[in-house]
Amino acid sequence: MSFTILNRHMSRKAIVIGASSGIGRELAKILGREGYEVGLVARRLELLHELQKEMPTKTWVEPSDVTDLDRARQSLQFLLQKMGSVDLIVVNAGFFSNNQDFVWEKERQTIEVNVLGFAAMAHTAMAYFLQEGKGHLVGISSVSGIRGERNTPSYSASKAFVSTFLEALQAKVYAEKRAISITDIQPGWVDTAMAVDQDVFWMAPRDVAAQQMYTAIERKKAHAYVTGRWRLIAWVLKLLPRWIYVRLF
């Protein structure tokens, strides 16, 4: 599908996929406060309309379920046409469930959202930026993607997929000398619905996490941990031999 650019404005424009709640919602609000016109994308339309009322800048609302791959891609393409020239696309849609009992339905849903859904949205965004010759793609991964976790095997594997996918795109734009930035953000635990009933430490408030994400985006960093202190945990996790790791985690 060809992207038709309807108009161009001096103000910056962004799209947040997964904007209805959690850090996606907080990040959309920050972008609005910083002057971005924002496209809000998520499955729950009523929550998008609630957020739209809080936004200080012009917004667009586009309902989309990323597990319906073809329709989700078409919805994003349609939104890009409506908005005109978009500078930034954040792919934040994700699914998490503690799966200690190893229930297949939870594994399947995780893969559908975090792998297939993410790839469909990131590919559509990247195709747009490649056509435009510029842009900034941001993917929200997780520190869980660093190593496999016993109670969330598909979640940790899916977030490893996100980071690896983004790293490959970074290599692509570098090799092709494209004016496109790719940012991989790996949050630790954030105070969202995903963290309910989880025995966790270093829980970051949503506004703090979203502000650090915004800072990384504005600096066009290739990679960022959120909050920054998770860098230490990541370093330790990467160094642990497998035989020790599987006994601890």
The structure tokens listed for 121 are: 């949205």
- Residues 138-160: tens digit of each pLDDT: 999 999 999 999 999 999 999 99
- CA dihedral sign, ordered 64, 68, 71, 73: positive
How far is the C-alpha of 187 from the C-alpha of 145, rounded, in Å? 10
Strand partners, 16: 40, 90
The stretch 231-247 carries a mean pLDDT of: 91
How far is the C-alpha of 139 from the C-alpha of 106, rounded, in Å? 22
How far is the C-alpha of 51 from the C-alpha of 38, rounded, in Å? 11
| Amino acid (1-letter code) at residue 36 | Y
CA-nearest of 213, 242, 188 to 88 is: 213
- Residues 31-70: tens digit of each pLDDT: 999 999 999 999 999 999 999 999 999 999 999 999 999 9
Name the catalytic one among 155, 214, 225, 245.
155
> Which stretch of 3-12, 85-94, 125-134, 181-190 has the lowest confidence by average pLDDT?
3-12
The stretch 68-73 carries a mean pLDDT of: 97
Query: What's the pLDDT at 110?
Result: 96
CB count within 10 Å of CB 76 equals: 26
Query: What's the pLDDT at 189?
Result: 85
How far is Cα of residue 87 from the mean position of the Cα atoms in its chain?
A: 16
Q: Report pTM.
A: 0.90
Q: Quickly state the pLDDT bin for 194 (edges 50, 70, 90).
A: low
Query: What's the pLDDT at 197?
Result: 52
Tell me phi and psi for residue 41, to 5 degrees.
Answer: -125, 130
Q: Could you tell me the CATH superfamily of domain 13-248?
A: NAD(P)-binding Rossmann-like Domain (3.40.50.720)
Q: Strands 134-140, 88-91: parallel, antiparallel or unpaired by DSSP?
A: parallel
Percent of the chain with pLDDT over 70: 92
The yes-or-no answer on residue 155 being catalytic is yes
